[in-house]
Amino acid sequence: MAFDITINGKAQKVEARPDTPLLWVLRDHMQLTGTKFGCGIAQCGACTVHLDGKPVRSCVLPLRAIAGKEVVTIEGLQSKEGRAIQAAWEELSVAQCGYCQSGQIMAAAALLADIQEPSDNDIDAAMSGNICRCCTYQRVRHGIKSASKKMNSKVAKSDASIEGAQVV
């Protein structure tokens, strides 16, 4: 069967069984392998992508349920939150083996889009579905806070410069 979905901003026609999980549509049909397989039962978060802007576990999301929706994967992560998270990840050397990190980054970017300055409790709630067996959790937490701080200070700065312009 053919389904219409939008992946990373591009309208795509996918020919696959309707029960095919989005994860395998991405990996085997679209050759987008940045999204990873870890458990297949929505317990580890390695397969996290954005569906209409919200983080979802693509390993349990059948193709038939996402027709007409917008999917963003790690390959297409362009949002300012996403870029800030990726920059923080590089700066803090968050990744160890790296296998879960696409999922961590997608979950973290969605958290920042939702809450500009997440508290530790917000981070626990949003990120506890993403397992990292290398246990990079401490740096994931710092990475989210660092990205949040940088984004907010940028917002503050651009506000300040607008004010400055008005004074002149």
Partner 1 sequence: MQVLRALKLYKSDLSRRDFIKKTVKLGAGLTLAVSLPSAPEALLNPAFLGVSSAENPINAFVSIGLDNSVKVIIKHIDFGQGTFTGLATILAEEMDAAWDQIVCEFAPSDKTRYANLLSGAQMTGGSTAIANSYIQMREAGASARQMLIDAAAAKWDVPREQIIVKQGILSHSNGLNATFGELSQLAAMQPLPEKVSLKDSGNFSLIGKAGLSRKDLGKSDGTAIFTQDFKMDGLMTAVVAHPPRFGATVASFDTKRALGLPGVIEVVEIPSGVAVLADTFWSAIGGRDALDIDWDTSSAMEDGSVELMRRYKEAARGDGAIAKKIGDNLRGFAEADIIVEAEYEFPFLAHASMEPMNCVARLSSEGIEMWYGCQGPTMDQYAVASALDIQPDKVKINTLFAGGSFGRRANKDSDFAVEAALIAKTVKSDSPIKLVWTREDDMRSGYFRPMYFHKMRAGLNAQGKIVAWEHKIIGQSITSGTAFEAKAIKNGVDRSSVEGALELPYDFENVSVQLKTMEAQVPVLWWRSVGSSHTAHAVETFMDQLSHAAGLDPLQFRLMHLGDDQRFAGVLDLVADKADWNNDRSGGRIKGIAVHKSFGTYVAQVADMEETKAGKYCVKKVVCAVDCGLVINPDIVKAQMEGGIGFGLSPTLMSAVTIEKGRVVETNFDSHRVLRMKDMPNIETHIVSSSEPPTGVGEPATPVISPAVANALFAKTQVVQSRLPLNLDV
16 lines the binding site for partner 1 (CB under 8 A): yes
DSSP summary character for residue 26:
I
Count of residues engaged in binding partner 1, rule: CB under 8 A: 57
Stretch that binds partner 1, among 2-10, 12-20, 111-119, 150-158 (CB under 8 A): 12-20
CB 37 within 8 A of CB 47: yes
The answer to whether 83 touches 143, Cβ cutoff 8 Å, is no
Per CB under 8 A, 3 contacts partner 1: no
Q: CA-based diameter of the chain, in Å?
A: 62
5 binds partner 1 (CB under 8 A): no
d(CA 140, CA 123): 9
If one asks whether residue 152 binds partner 1 (CB under 8 A), the answer comes out as no
Question: Interface residues for partner 1 in 94-133 (CB under 8 A)?
Answer: 94-102, 105, 123-125, 127-133
